[in-house]
Structure 1
């Protein structure tokens, strides 16, 4: 108990850091074009986006390319080969999950009406020790809003575009860093925040790549799911771990995938 009280000054100091942990602007891109990007509805992320709704309305079948790691002097990340595959696979899986609700996902790009490319441009590791301390302190703080300690705030920068007949019809540049105060769950994994942010990135990517009006949501069984190669759409293990420990336990989709596809 004494340890918890000793932690509180550091926890409370996070309040003063909330204004300086916004994700940096991505200055390097793999997109085929950037001149028509405009600021979007950011929420807790920094976003630039482009949508050509008339052309999006002509798309029916989509081919999803493997997510890549951007290279260049302006990129920011420090990842081992295994960590790289885990992050890329999670982003690719979440993009598949989201787009498959809107389009038919095909495995042959020659029969597609559009192709989707994505990349990670920035990665900030989650501080494991500080995350663990925040989880312990969080057990004594009522309500859904948690506190994160300095040194534990990870982040992710990613981008994606949809190409039809050689032209970009939708694109997004997205970046987000964990907040000291909020609902970003601490993790003992260096990849914790980046993997948590894969889903909100995919949500936004799918939003800007969607036709208007939206078609009826596509439903699948485990036998018809075009994204079955990535495993389950809902990670029940992660929910259980969070409920018991207050920590996020990331799924490692690369454990069941052929990494040579990357």
Structure 2
């Protein structure tokens, strides 16, 4: 039955599955040269990279992400902090696989990230979707149209001298049909989108040909907890819901620099 439901709504959902580009938020030092990628199905990605300059970067300092352009004004302070922490976590994970993360900005390139938009998740619709997904077995998830949320963010890699080495303007909304789990949290979808944003940052900033490297020991991202959260996967399987406290390993207080 779930397969039939997917087929019934997938036509209209797939037609509008790619997220519209977000307007420039004014966070990046420059938007010149941003090129829209046309090989993505769900996210809007505009990016640029100075290949030679990126190849010369080895050490990077990760500045804490910030909120700009009124992003999250309708949300609680705790929810906004949760999104920023998850963005920091995912960016740290991806950058640490391509560069050496350092604790001091002196003589290192800087990674600047900003959340420029948060579309809240509809909790009531998520509850209905979770029940449907548990009761009707099958691959993928079904979401209630009009209740999905999303995330928009920008990031740049800046050389020690101040030159912008690479830049990214990114946005993605959760899909009505797909693998984005419903959540009772108003930022459930934004939190889930932080992972693909982190992936996009790593891909946009790393020079062509730089291989993904083993995680350093000690792990420079250890303050965010384990890189995998098996309990989160199990919770989604049993309840059909994305639960931030379990999926992100949330601490009582976001980590401080």
SS of the residue corresponding to residue 255 of structure 1 reads: coil
The aligned residue for residue 150 of structure 1 is 145
SS of the residue corresponding to residue 199 of structure 2 reads: helix
**Superposition pairs for residues 160-171 of structure 1, below 5 Å?**
160-164=155-159, 165-171=161-167
The aligned residue for residue 34 of structure 2 is 37
Whether 1:242 aligns to 2:236 is: yes
Distance, in Å, in 2 between the alignment partners of 1:76 and 1:258 is 20
- Could you tell which deviates more after superposition, 225-234 or 85-94? 225-234
Distance, in Å, in 2 between the alignment partners of 1:64 and 1:258 is 13
The aligned residue for residue 101 of structure 1 is 97
Relative distance call for 1:187 and 1:87 in structure 2 (3 A) is: same
SS of the residue corresponding to residue 111 of structure 1 reads: coil
Note the C-alpha offset of 1:77.
Answer: 5.0
SS of the residue corresponding to residue 139 of structure 1 reads: helix
1:87-137: CA deviation from partner (whole Å, max 9, x where unpaired): 00100111001110111100000031x110000011111111111111211
Provide the TM-score with structure 2 as the length reference: 0.88
For the 8 Å contact 2:223–2:255, the answer to whether it is kept is no
Count of residues paired in the alignment: 249
Note the C-alpha offset of 1:152.
Answer: 2.2
Distance, in Å, in 1 between the alignment partners of 2:156 and 2:98 is 16
Note the C-alpha offset of 1:186.
Answer: 0.9
Whether 1:180 aligns to 2:176 is: yes
Q: Unaligned regions of 5+ residues in structure 1, if any?
A: none
Note the C-alpha offset of 1:18.
Answer: 4.9
Distance, in Å, in 1 between the alignment partners of 2:98 and 2:192 is 22
